[in-house]
Amino acid sequence: MQDLSVQQLFIKFFDVEWEEELKQPYPIAIIRMRDSIPDSVAITPVVFITNETLQKADTSHIHTLAVNITKLLSDIIVNNQINTSNEIQIDCDWTVSTKDKYFGLLKSLKQQPFFDQKKLSATIRLHQLKFTNQTGIPPVDKGLLMCYNMGNLRSASTGNSIIETSELDKYVKGLRNYPLHLDVALPLFDWYVWFSKNQYKGLFYPQQLPLSSNKEKVTFARDTVINGYAFKAGDWLRYENSPINVLEAVAQRLKNKLPAEERTILLYHLDEKVLSKYQNNEIKTLLERFH
């Protein structure tokens, strides 16, 4: 982080899910600060809201949800004496059916005194960019374009669902005309996608499956158990990652289509094992593509 002159760190503070027994939104996975954060880095709090929460929440309860989110955010910041940036980010994969509730929530959040002098940003997924007429433009100060998870993960014929230039090209034709300022998030992670008889079965991260090498495809010749996971003969894994050459090509495409203005570039995510697969100079070169 020091070598790359990182000045801002986006940290998810909690998720908001639908609690079926209580019949209301409920916070889970609330962050616990076990150590202090360097003063040189400003923290941008992120709150993830499931689309199911919006589907099941009553419209009349949206204001209460905004108040509760604000209170929990404020409590975490104050109790941990966190040096925050002037930005709060809401992460939600909203759809056409939940658009009105979500946009109402965002408007209600901005009305809270906590958000005075703060910018509210929202994540923008590629399908929300492509189908703007249907999904709308969120009422926020700026957006974060999430340039990953762009292919069909569950299809056995997909090459790399995390990031592919050919997939990106399908979504970004109208990028220059998008009415919000957009920051950009790029992936650094990798995983294995599990198929049985070409049917999607699940996801595994490399630390869950200590295989000898990261091959593009691993096929099990016989029934095999690894770390408690049982694979049948014929099952196979597709290895997907975020190659630096693909990241650079994506960055160049985005630069050519985005307005020429300063923007924040995020790398997902800050993890020792993930970062060990890249050289610092590779990441520097990637970031310089946007200059």
Q: Which of 63, 69, 62, 61 is nearest to 90 (CA)?
A: 69
* Max CA pair span of the chain: 61
Task: State the pLDDT confidence band at 20, using cuts at 50, 70 and 90.
Answer: very high
Residue 215 confidence (pLDDT) above 80: no
Distance, CA of 219 to CA of 231 (rounded, Å): 10
The tens digit of pLDDT for each residue in 66-78 reads 999 999 999 999 9
Q: How far is CA 136 from CA 63, 130, 139, 143, 150, in A?
A: 20, 10, 9, 13, 19
Distance, CA of 76 to CA of 72 (rounded, Å): 6
Which of left, alpha, beta for 238 (phi over 0: left; psi -120 to 50: alpha)?
Answer: beta
Q: What percent of the chain lies above the pLDDT cut of 70?
A: 99
Residue 150 confidence (pLDDT) above 90: yes
* Predicted pLDDT of residue 40: 87
Task: State the pLDDT confidence band at 282, using cuts at 50, 70 and 90.
Answer: very high
At which residue do the structure tokens 């905004």 appear? 66
The tens digit of pLDDT for each residue in 180-205 reads 999 999 999 999 999 999 999 999 99
Distance, CA of 48 to CA of 25 (rounded, Å): 12
Q: Which of 52, 65, 59 is nearest to 92 (CA)?
A: 52
Distance, CA of 185 to CA of 126 (rounded, Å): 11
* Predicted pLDDT of residue 260: 87
Q: What pTM was computed for the model?
A: 0.94
Structure tokens at 244: 């630096």
Which of left, alpha, beta for 136 (phi over 0: left; psi -120 to 50: alpha)?
Answer: left
* Predicted pLDDT of residue 216: 83
Q: Which of 67, 54, 156 is nearest to 115 (CA)?
A: 67
User: Which uninterrupted H or E stretch holds 188?
Assistant: none
Task: State the pLDDT confidence band at 253, using cuts at 50, 70 and 90.
Answer: very high
| Residue 93 or 61, more confident | 93
Q: What percent of the chain lies above the pLDDT cut of 90?
A: 89
Structure tokens at 251: 């960055």
Structure tokens at 167: 């997939």
The tens digit of pLDDT for each residue in 39-53 reads 889 999 999 999 999
Distance, CA of 93 to CA of 134 (rounded, Å): 14
Task: State the pLDDT confidence band at 214, using cuts at 50, 70 and 90.
Answer: low
Q: What is the DSSP string of 40-80?
A: TSEEEEEEEE-HHHHHHS-GGGHHHHHHHHHHHHHHHHHHT
Q: Which of 241, 157, 161, 153 is nearest to 201 (CA)?
A: 153
Rg (CA), the chain: 20
DSSP letter at 41?
S
Structure tokens at 97: 């059916």
Residue 210 confidence (pLDDT) above 90: no
3-class DSSP assignment, residue 285: helix
